[in-house]
């Protein structure tokens, strides 16, 4: 005997197909919008493939969408201070911020060898074991063994060492003002050499 779907069930199925099509269409609109914004301004500093044109500008390739959206919102509301970025985000909506994050999250960069292998070796130790004498925790316990992070934890792998080093210094001095409690307590225990070493290591991951 043939089983016929009840009219109610058929309506529910039709509605969910429509909803799926609509959300798909929105995703495409968002993607096109993100491409337009990124290709219109962001690429000047962050590069066409998120590779960035200088160590002063963080690489965005492979960075997590939610983390990117969070930082863009913080630049916009002034919680994270950067005169350069503040002027880039004035008109962005929350949807566009997330779409930009998704745009960059899909990209990836090849791994690069550390320029100073000995410094990187010291950084590797700190990354996985911290410094038990001064209380620096192991970075891997939060950022992960591969330094790829998660939605709320930034990816550090393939990032420029110069940028990482700078951020550690600004967490230490509390110049990076958005959500800095955890990273301030990490960075305040670190020496200049440890910061440089761990930055050298993660950039080559
Ligand atoms: C004129 C250069 C410039 C342009 C154009 C620019 N940025 Fe930036 N961006 C920077 C600098 C410099 C920083 C680092 C700020 C700091 O040190 O806190 C940054 C930081 C960021 C960060 C934080 C990354 C992290 O790892 O925490 C994100 C996300 C970002 N930019 C996205 C964008 C997007 C999206 C656009 C386009 C709408 C854009 N930027 C345009 C210079 C630029
Ligand atoms: C207890 C968890 C925790 C530990 C341990 C930790 N971090 Fe972080 N780290 C975070 C969080 C959370 C953020 C994101 C802050 C935000 O959302 O603005 C962050 C952000 C960062 C950033 C900024 C990245 C960017 O793209 O701007 C750097 C660099 C960083 N951490 C390096 C390190 C290093 C190096 C170590 C080890 C010495 C370390 N972290 C240990 C939680 C941690």
pLDDT score of 205: 93
| Closest to 53 measured CA to CA, from 63, 61, 43, 62 | 43
pLDDT score of 154: 97
In the numeric block, which tokens belong to residue 144? 């992960």
Is 151 near ligand 2, meaning CB less than 6 Å away? no
51, 61, 137, 177 from 107: Cα distances, Å = 9, 5, 30, 28
Inter-residue contact 119 to 196 (CB < 8 Å): yes
pLDDT score of 179: 85
pLDDT score of 27: 73
pLDDT score of 24: 72
Residue nearest to atom 9 of ligand 2 (CA): 183
Residue 59 CA, ligand 1 centroid: distance in Å: 9
pLDDT along the chain (205 residues), means of 10: 66 71 73 95 97 94 97 96 95 96 96 95 98 97 94 95 96 92 96 98 96
Residue 167 CA, ligand 2 centroid: distance in Å: 9
């Amino acid at each position: 005997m043939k089983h016929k779907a009840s009219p109610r069930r058929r309506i529910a199925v039709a509605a969910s197909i429509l909803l799926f099509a609509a959300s798909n269409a929105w995703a495409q609109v968002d993607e096109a919008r993100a491409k337009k914004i990124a290709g219109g301004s962001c690429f000047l500093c962050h590069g066409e493939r998120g590779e960035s044109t200088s160590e002063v500008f963080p690489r965005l390739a492979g960075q997590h969408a939610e983390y990117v959206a969070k930082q863009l919102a913080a630049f916009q509301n002034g919680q994270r201070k950067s005169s350069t970025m503040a002027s880039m985000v004035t008109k962005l909506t929350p949807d566009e911020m997330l779409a930009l994050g998704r745009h960059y999250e899909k990209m990836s960069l090849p791994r690069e060898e550390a320029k100073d292998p000995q410094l990187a070796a010291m950084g590797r130790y700190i990354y996985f074991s911290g410094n038990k004498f001064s209380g620096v925790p192991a970075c891997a316990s939060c950022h992960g063994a591969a330094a790829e992070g998660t939605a709320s934890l930034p990816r550090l792998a393939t990032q420029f060492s110069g940028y990482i080093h700078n951020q550690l210094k600004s967490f230490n001095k509390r110049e990076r003002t958005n959500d800095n409690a955890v990273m301030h307590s990490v960075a305040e225990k670190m020496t200049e050499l440890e910061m440089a070493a761990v930055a050298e290591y993660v950039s080559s991951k």
